[in-house]
Amino acid sequence: MEAFLVSITSVAIAEIGDRTQLLSLALAAHYRRPWPIIAGIFLATAANHSAAGILGAWFGNFLTPPVLDALVGFSMVVMALWVLRMDGLGNRAETSRKSAFIATLVSFFIAEIGDKTQIATLALAAAFPSLVAVVTGTTGGMLIANIPAVFLGDALSGRLPIRSINYVAAIIFTGLGVIFVLRAIGRMTAFDLNLP
């Protein structure tokens, strides 16, 4: 349950103001068909995060629990710094009007490659033993953050205080990072003292 809760919370927070959330707003404004867009977001995220989770779980097999905690803690602090930078939509790809679902599926999958939420999924899958809980949580976090963006379209996109939201997200990520680093230190100390 911890893996799911940490995963869903981390990704939902990380996604606020992210380029993929802005992509959701742009696709919703362009197509005005929320359900195919939501289906595309779900499938693209599930595929992308499953691949990241499998890689993270594999990588996690080679590391000790204190090292895993330290890596997750460090990655949370890096994500805190990352969310402080304002994401922009940048190069908005031209998409055909014929299929909101296909356009969303392809653009979301590509946009998620190397994104902070994919990196978070990789790190969380390395840290927690339940790959299903992590991928379900990170995919759920993406939906929690993006479904409202899809339904609101671009009506509120210019009015949201994204910078303030990013500061709050950075504080939360820093807090999570500190918790994991302290847990790593505690585990290393217990290991050094041969404590259970």
Task: Give me the residue spans of the domains in the chain.
Answer: 2-192
What is 42-58 written as a DSSP string? HHHHHHHHHHHHHHHHH
pTM for the full predicted model: 0.71
CA 14 – CA 45 distance, rounded (Å):
14
Dihedral angle of Cα 183, 73, 117, 62, to the nearest 10 degrees: -80
CA 125 – CA 14 distance, rounded (Å):
16
CB 141 within 8 A of CB 11: yes
Q: Which two tokens stand for residue 156?
A: 């509120």
Tell whether the model's pLDDT for residue 7 goes beyond 90.
yes
Q: Which two tokens stand for residue 182?
A: 């302290």
Look at 40-49, 89-98, 168-177 and tell me which has the smallest mean pLDDT.
Answer: 89-98
Best CA proximity match to 106, nearest among 12, 41, 36, 154: 41
CB 12 within 8 A of CB 128: no
CB 122 within 8 A of CB 132: no
Within a 13 Å sphere around the CA of 27, how many CA atoms are in the beta-carbon half?
36
Per residue in 35-56, pLDDT (tens digit) is 999 999 999 999 999 999 999 8
pLDDT band at 175 (very low <50, low <70, confident <90, very high): confident
CB 1 within 8 A of CB 137: no
pLDDT band at 30 (very low <50, low <70, confident <90, very high): confident
CA 156 – CA 24 distance, rounded (Å):
13
CA 28 – CA 100 distance, rounded (Å):
9
- Contacts with 192 (C-beta within 8 Å, 6 or more apart), sequence order: none
Share in percent of the chain as helix, strand, coil (round to 5): 80, 0, 20
